[in-house]
Amino acid sequence: MEAKQLILKARHVTVAGHISPDGDVIGSMLGLGFALASMGKEYVLVLPDNVPASLKFVPGVEQIVEKPKKLAATDLIVALDTSDPKRLGSVYHDNLDLFQSVPVVNIDHHITNNFVATSVILDSSAAATAEQIVDLLHEMSVPIDPTTALCLLVGIVSDTQCFRTANTTSRTLEIAVSLIERGAPLSWIVDCLYKALPVSKLSLWGNALSDIRLSGGIVWTCITQEALHRCNASGEETEGLVDVLAGVKEAEVAALFKEVPGGSVKVSLRSSGKADVARLASDFKGGGHPRAAGFSLECSLDEAQELVIRSVNRLLAES
Ligand SMILES: [Mn+2]
């Protein structure tokens, strides 16, 4: 059965998002949630992590159940912006029986998608999952009210970094226009997302940027646990730093290495287009898009840098 039929048929829908939630997954979850409410359906929104403080401005965000223990009975699970069930974290691992027994719809735009579900809507040409939700609501003839439009525009603005990424298409802009026409306040959203720099974040970035390295076509830097403590910054305040590195003129690939407690390193990669970093990320069991991808390594910061810089060099030589 198709996704829209599954949604139209369900009375109670569980909408799930991915670990390290971003503006796209939160905007998409809330946008779909408000639409489900207007269709007279019961729903619950669940995340395996906390909503970052920077996204608390999105209307309805208090409805999101963070790190639920066990999911309640439901007719349908909808996993958003999630390329792999593992990206649902504990929401998936602690509810395997439920995932086996009810239909699952996956709506995603990552080219590395390998989600096996009852119905998968995969559109790697969509700049954001929120864009896909707009299409789905149109297909189901569900009207989009101003609050729903706002949430969905948050998803599009944040995944395209304000309509600047390479996957921003004329279709993305058309959908954004339709949301603005339905009452979504674009400049307010942009202010909420981008005029919101805490000093701790800037001092962390300053620290990391003063230690920037460039070799071959790669620019990179690291965030240590020690720097996070010293700057009084939270782990989520590294969000966006790799995109600053991606603006470096001399580099084809930008990398950010973030030390995680417990002995692992989170690697975020950006490419100016020559090298496909999604390919490299999938070699390391991660995922993403050709120009933006990430993965984790169980090793020290030094080892991670050595391994990744070598792999990126090889990738650049091949492309
Ligand atoms: Mn997304």
Determine the distance separating the centroid of ligand 1 and the alpha carbon of 109, expressed in angstroms.
Answer: 7
Determine the distance separating the centroid of ligand 1 and the alpha carbon of 168, expressed in angstroms.
Answer: 12
pLDDT band at 159 (very low <50, low <70, confident <90, very high): very high
pLDDT band at 196 (very low <50, low <70, confident <90, very high): confident
Determine the distance separating the centroid of ligand 1 and the alpha carbon of 142, expressed in angstroms.
Answer: 22
Q: What is the pLDDT of residue 158?
A: 96
In the chain, alpha helices (H): 3-9, 23-38, 90-93, 96-101, 129-139, 146-159, 170-181, 186-194, 199-209, 225-230, 241-245, 277-283, 301-318
Determine the distance separating the centroid of ligand 1 and the alpha carbon of 289, expressed in angstroms.
Answer: 10
What is the DSSP track for 162-175? TTTSTT--HHHHHH
Q: What is the pLDDT of residue 251?
A: 97
Give the whole-number percent of the chain exceeding pLDDT 90.
93
Determine the distance separating the centroid of ligand 1 and the alpha carbon of 22, expressed in angstroms.
Answer: 8
Determine the distance separating the centroid of ligand 1 and the alpha carbon of 29, expressed in angstroms.
Answer: 11
Candidates 3.40.50.300, 3.90.1640.10, 3.40.50.10800, 1.10.10.10; correct CATH number of 3-194? 3.90.1640.10
Q: What is the pLDDT of residue 61?
A: 98
Determine the distance separating the centroid of ligand 1 and the alpha carbon of 123, expressed in angstroms.
Answer: 11
- Among residues 111, 159, 114, 80, the alpha carbon closest in space to that of 277 is found at 111
pTM, two decimal places: 0.82
Determine the distance separating the centroid of ligand 1 and the alpha carbon of 240, expressed in angstroms.
Answer: 14
Per the CB < 8 A criterion, the answer to whether 161 and 270 are in contact is no
Q: What is the pLDDT of residue 236?
A: 85
How far is 15 from 28, CA to CA, in rounded Å?
A: 10
Determine the distance separating the centroid of ligand 1 and the alpha carbon of 298, expressed in angstroms.
Answer: 25
How far is 139 from 2, CA to CA, in rounded Å?
A: 12
Candidates 2.60.40.420, 3.40.50.720, 3.40.50.300, 3.10.310.30; correct CATH number of 199-318? 3.10.310.30
Question: What residue type is 189 in one-letter code?
Answer: I
* Residue 149 pLDDT > 90: yes
pLDDT tens by residue, 44-90: 999 999 999 999 999 999 999 999 999 999 999 999 999 999 999 99
Core vs surface per residue 174-206: b (16+ CB within 10 A) or e: ebbebbeebebebeebbebbeeeeeeebebbbe
Determine the distance separating the centroid of ligand 1 and the alpha carbon of 205, expressed in angstroms.
Answer: 24
pLDDT band at 1 (very low <50, low <70, confident <90, very high): confident
How far is 188 from 175, CA to CA, in rounded Å?
A: 18
* Residue 284 pLDDT > 80: yes
Domain segments of the chain: what residues? Answer: 3-194, 199-318
Mean pLDDT is lowest, of 130-139, 195-204, 217-226, for 195-204
Domain 3-194 shares a fold with domain 199-318: no
Determine the distance separating the centroid of ligand 1 and the alpha carbon of 28, expressed in angstroms.
Answer: 9
* Residue 301 pLDDT > 90: yes
Determine the distance separating the centroid of ligand 1 and the alpha carbon of 215, expressed in angstroms.
Answer: 30
Helix axes 170-181, 129-139, angle to 10 degrees: 60
Average of per-residue pLDDT values in the chain = 96
pLDDT tens by residue, 104-139: 999 999 999 999 999 999 999 999 999 999 999 999
Core vs surface per residue 109-137: b (16+ CB within 10 A) or e: bbbbbebebebbbbeeebbbbbbbbbebb
- Among residues 234, 257, 265, the alpha carbon closest in space to that of 54 is found at 234
Determine the distance separating the centroid of ligand 1 and the alpha carbon of 226, expressed in angstroms.
Answer: 30
Determine the distance separating the centroid of ligand 1 and the alpha carbon of 219, expressed in angstroms.
Answer: 24
> Can you say whether the dihedral through the CA atoms of 65, 71, 72, 74 is positive or negative?
positive
Determine the distance separating the centroid of ligand 1 and the alpha carbon of 126, expressed in angstroms.
Answer: 9
> What mean pLDDT do residues 164-173 have?
95
Determine the distance separating the centroid of ligand 1 and the alpha carbon of 32, expressed in angstroms.
Answer: 14
Determine the distance separating the centroid of ligand 1 and the alpha carbon of 230, expressed in angstroms.
Answer: 31
Determine the distance separating the centroid of ligand 1 and the alpha carbon of 80, expressed in angstroms.
Answer: 8
For the chain, the C-alpha Rg in angstroms (whole number) is: 19
Distance set, CA 177 to CA 133, 170, 186 (Å): 15, 10, 10
pLDDT tens by residue, 230-258: 999 998 899 889 999 999 999 999 999 99
